[in-house]
Structure 1
């Protein structure tokens, strides 16, 4: 678990100095047959073996990383600290020059200082198998790295855990599944901010840097205690991002704070019988079935759906797409005349107008086309 004090060290001075230094540092194009092995990979430290037989082994290799770019930039995570710099690599000989480095006091047992000093002492680089090795100056030792398991912003739903502001405020997401962001491969993003949903766009102009365009959301009045507004505002102020211990951290502009996310355990449409609880239309009308177990839908792994609409039963098909889009088509049912007061027609009409879906507090919410309303289901 990352100490909350980590937020305090990310100062505006560091960010400003990093940009200025990187802009003036001498960037020398990489000259190495194995260039493709070097760049485009996040390298995790496995050990530093010194020639006096001293060995430094990180307890969490993912917290000690180095990333090289084709421009000659180098980006470093040294436990609770971060650094940026430049490197020069010719015929296997490497020099690494680090610029400003954050100065947080990492937890006891950290080898951040040793790691940073070893990078500054880099002398020769070579590969053995999938691993990268850096021999240190004066024959003093060798650093061993392995490629990091790929963690990406995209392809997953991130649940907010908390926002730690550098003025001491801490906002905790309760429940976490009500505050999510999903970054799409096309540069769009989908946001859930408590009772509101929204869309926006993002850009990663360089490794570790994140820019988020203003987020447009629905305007529902969420319950007292909601942090929906703070959540969307913080996302709009995103500046840097990194991964640590499987979590996503987003540092905010002007050194104002840090957002912490955990990858969501994705609920699934498939595998449950979903019982209708109500249909809430945006014109204020509402349909509440007296017997929810008579109004069900089951999504099957083969793309079909099984439907019970009161006294009638039927089958159809469904498809999902990016941003939780949902399309239910071809539902054909028996044609019995259900008793007076039946909601079968409303139920089937709602399914036919399905547009998107999401999960909240264990329930399935199906939003209808044209922002006309929503259907709320509970699992069997």
Structure 2
């Protein structure tokens, strides 16, 4: 059971993701009477698709900055997250309420309810045209049931102090792919329910827009186009860096752990070793994810990178759900009280992972390294050890002073099997690795690409061969 001090954002994400997993209808929460909603404006101010900020793009608008930064204008006025966590909010209940350290609790023991500030979600930008950055806050209203109603609330900046400008309910148990303030409007990309969705399980994406009307926040458009169902295409071509292994488990800046998606494949850096694998999303619930066996290089990794890498690989192996978190990616793993969230921030995709079977052929690969549990070896003369994969399923091998052939089969998920064939038997000298290369190819089990290099993993932790084009 989540405690009051548990991160509100994580609590919301756990609730939303667990609801998606269970897909049970919402229970009616205990709630006080709600305020009358502000009338909606016409959709003439609807945000266009080009205005929406995707999860892989940085918010470049000069009006929008992240919630981790203090906002300072020429006047010296600024709004702080601390002030917003202790501000007054209206438009949610009959009367305005004041948060204390991000929380408001009301009702009685038999029918309690609470309002929580959602961490890491606040955005800043000018809402009222005075040239000073205001704030938009996202709040979660819970009343004891499974429902979790999300509100978007505006706080205007008056001399560095937040002034309430109302709130509007977005929906129950939804995820936000992106949010930004642009040209005085609040643009969000958020999940919504579509055909076949239960109350618990919004699996479509839509855009909504909010703006001030007579000094109060109002919804000015809802869904500028038909909602689009979430699919693997949402992840395709994206690249992310891990920032948290779990609640209060940040990843140090000098440890690089990444994940990138291409088609049904994923790859990245585990903090020390490179890795790759495949993943699938459930047909009924596209936020349910299964990550297949991972293949990785086998370098010995000192702590802290080694320990983090081991925990990260274990977490990916237990992954069950993924989701959006205001421009971040989260992956849920574990079960029960041991359930945790991996949290990633978006990063530019510098390399596009090519389809494996298309990349083996048409290139002559030079052997540059060998990594196994006991050693890491750099090959002195890579040009003396080469592989050329042919479309007919054969491999031409140049191994120092010897020439060899082999046959291979490779699958799109990274599996490979190599059968050595005819080999010349010249004596190449005591430092040659001719025989070693040919023998190790016979134990090939998996292959993947990282930063333009080909990696071939051998069976039973036998190590990894690395090749460059």
- Give the alignment's TM-score, normalised by structure 1: 0.54
Alpha-carbon offset, residue 295 of structure 1? 1.4
The change in CA–CA distance for 1:202 and 1:168 in structure 2 (over 3 A counts) is same
Change (3 A) 1:344 1:287: farther
- Native 8 Å contact 2:267 2:276 kept in 1: yes
Give the conservation status (yes or no) of the 8 Å contact 1:198–1:218. Answer: no
* 1:276-318 deviation digits (Å, cap 9, x = unpaired): 2455666x69987654322111234554432212223344443
The correspondence for 1:195, drawn from 273, 277, 297, is: 273
CA separation in 1, counterparts of 2:313 and 2:241?
14
C-alpha offsets along residues 112-137 of structure 1, whole Å, 9 cap, x if unaligned? 58989x99xxxxxxxxxxxx9xxxxx
- Separation in structure 2 between the aligned mates of residue 301 and residue 155 of structure 1, nearest angstrom: 30
How far is the alpha carbon of 1:152 from its aligned partner? 0.6
The C-alpha deviation readout for 1:236-267, integer Å capped at 9, x for no partner, is: 67564236899854367877662346676216
Work out whether 1:319 is the aligned partner of 2:319: no
For residue 429 of structure 2, give the secondary structure of its aligned residue in structure 1.
coil
Pairwise mapping of residues 157-306 of structure 1 onto structure 2 (< 5 A)?
160-164=240-244, 167=248, 169-172=250-253, 174-176=255-257, 193=270, 194-195=272-273, 204=282, 206-210=285-289, 221-226=300-305, 227-232=308-313, 234-235=315-316, 240-242=321-323, 248-250=329-331, 258-260=343-345, 265-266=352-353, 268-279=359-370, 291-300=381-390, 303-306=393-396
Residue 60 in structure 1 maps to residue 16 in structure 2: no
Residues 146 and 235 (structure 1 numbering): CA distance in 2 closer, same or farther, change over 3 Å?
A: same
Question: For 2:383, what is the secondary structure of its paired residue?
Answer: helix
Distance of 1:214 and 1:351 partners within structure 2: 21
The answer for the alignment partner of 1:93 in structure 2 is none
How many angstroms apart in 1 are the aligned matches of 2:302 and 2:441? 28
* Structure holding more strand per residue: 1
Q: 1:32-51 counterparts in 2 under 5 A? A: 51=42
Asked whether the equivalents of residues 178 and 327 of structure 2 are also in contact (C-alpha less than 8 Å), the reply is no
Instruction: Report the counterpart of residue 328 of structure 1 in structure 2.
Output: 418
Q: Helix, strand or coil: the match of 2:360?
A: coil
Please give the secondary structure, in 1, of the residue aligned with 2:419. Answer: strand
Instruction: Give the conservation status (yes or no) of the 8 Å contact 1:12–1:254.
Output: no
The answer to whether the 8 Å contact 1:357/1:364 transfers is yes
Structure 2 match to 1:107: 180
1:181-212 C-alpha deviation (Å, 9 max, x unpaired): 89969xxx999733386989987573434578
| Structure 2 CA distance for aligned equivalents of residues 224 and 260 of structure 1 | 23
* Residue in 2 that maps onto 1:152: 232
CA RMSD for the aligned pairs? 5.9
Counterpart Cα distance in 1 of 2:331 and 2:233? 11
Q: CA deviation at 1:144?
A: 3.6
Structure-1 residue corresponding to 2:25? 23
Further displaced range: 145-154 or 299-308: 145-154
SS of 1:358's equivalent in the other structure is strand
Q: Note the C-alpha offset of 1:224.
A: 3.8
- Tell me the residue number matched to 1:347: 437
- 1:154–1:308 CA distance, 2 compared to 1 (3 A): farther
Q: What SS is found at the alignment partner of 2:396?
A: strand
SS of alignment partner, residue 345 of structure 1: helix
Q: Which runs of 5+ in 2 are unaligned?
A: 1-6, 29-39, 56-120, 122-137, 141-145, 148-168, 194-205, 207-219
Counterpart in the other structure of 1:91: none
2:447 and 2:254 map into 1 onto residues whose CA distance is: 21
* Separation in structure 1 between the aligned mates of residue 225 and residue 172 of structure 2, nearest angstrom: 22
- Structure with larger RCO (C-alpha < 8 A, sep 6+): 2
Distance 1:362 1:313, change over 3 A: same
User: Aligned equivalents of 1:181 and 1:111: distance in 2?
Assistant: 29
For the residues of structure 1 that align with 2:189 and 2:242, how far apart are their CA atoms? 31
* TM-superposition CA deviations, 1:333-373 (whole Å, max 9, x none): 4x362333343222222223322223456543322234334
SS at match of 2:313: helix
For residues 148 and 329 of structure 1, what CA distance do their matches in structure 2 show?
A: 46
In the alignment, structure 1 segments of 5+ residues that lack a partner are 1-7, 27-48, 64-79, 86-95, 120-131, 133-139
